Structure 1
Amino acid sequence: MIYELRQYTLLPGRRDTLIELFEREFVETQEAVGMRVTGTFRVQDAPDRFAWLRAYPSMPARKDALEAFYGGPVWRANRDAANATMIDSDDVLLLHSVGAEPPAWERPPAGATEPPPSLYAATIYHVEDGFSAFFAREVAPVLAEAGVPPVACLETEHSENNFPRLPIRTGENVFVWFARFDPAGEEREVDLPMLKERLTAAPERLLLRPTARSAMR
């Protein structure tokens, strides 16, 4: 599967406005044209950040789905309201799955307002090629032993962006893994000294609180 990890910076106080619009108008309508809205999140401790994960069966399917949605009536009717909440929507990583896919539960119906009690930690490593095999061999067992098993692993998809109307981050090679904590108060980091010589830049760690209709719950 192909994924986009999308991180938006919003105008102060507008995050809930975007989430309400998104969950009402943009979930089923995107999935109807061939993509999967895998997870939608408030970024913890960053009140003006919204992150979400979108999936496609393949790169050709990505192109077809994005053309259908962004050329369709629902986006045209709501794009001004959505864009009016945003400062930046171009922080996007194009990824593919490595092993387990991100988990998904049955999504609550439109109008749901109660978010789940869980929290996801998404850790982004900047790496050289071949890191995923090292992670599976040396890192994942340590995480599992510590009670923080990866529930999904993704790495950079190096295909050309086939829908350039939506920019993606380029010139990077990343590995992203997700851990799930339920309840959120169980969130913790695990010391991983074996990574010291393997990373090409400082890691990024996002604490993600699922929204009411997120399929990752």
Structure 2
Amino acid sequence: MRMSRRPFLPALAALTLLTLAPAAAMAKPEACLTSLEGFPTALAYDTKDEEVRANRSIRERWLGGYGEITCPGYVTLRAMTPGLNDRERSVFCLQFDRDSNTYTGFAEGKRDAYLHCARPSGAFCEKVNASTETAGKVAGAAGQVLSGVRAVENSTGAVVLSGTAGSVSAALSNLGATALATVTAPAALTAAAVTVVAVGGAVYVCSE
């Protein structure tokens, strides 16, 4: 298992503090434990949060998490995607390594009952340093005819471009240099297939 280049690890301590900080204002704060790349991470969530409830399947409520993980999958996904609202982050699913009982990242795709990716892969997503203008240009690619690239807009308003690294690069080059720069993210440099997600005024690059 590869667990050395995930983007959220450097901010692990800050992420934990940010997630725990609102706990005092919660109606019923519930402490829980998750695991990110093998690192136990303490989080907290509001037990009355309607979005958390809506994103917990009956299976997850009754059976709980895997191993020592007690956080609902949605709480972990929120911690990984702090810049998005609940509607926007619904385009992503959690990558989970069952052998090590740890989350290895998140990717674009369908979810199972635990919010894990229904089709697990080695892919993961990272937010790239792109402006709101760039995100708008990428989002504007939906509906355009892009050679070798599949461009769709889903119900959350996210625009997803997917194809080979070469075809996605060529498509983004037509949108300008700043858009093209998104595929120079470390995740995409050696990837055969790339998915670019524009959502919430941000750009994510997903690749294996």
Q: TM-score, normalised by structure 2?
A: 0.32
Relative contact order, higher structure (CA 8 A, sep 6+): 1
Q: TM-score, normalised by structure 1?
A: 0.31
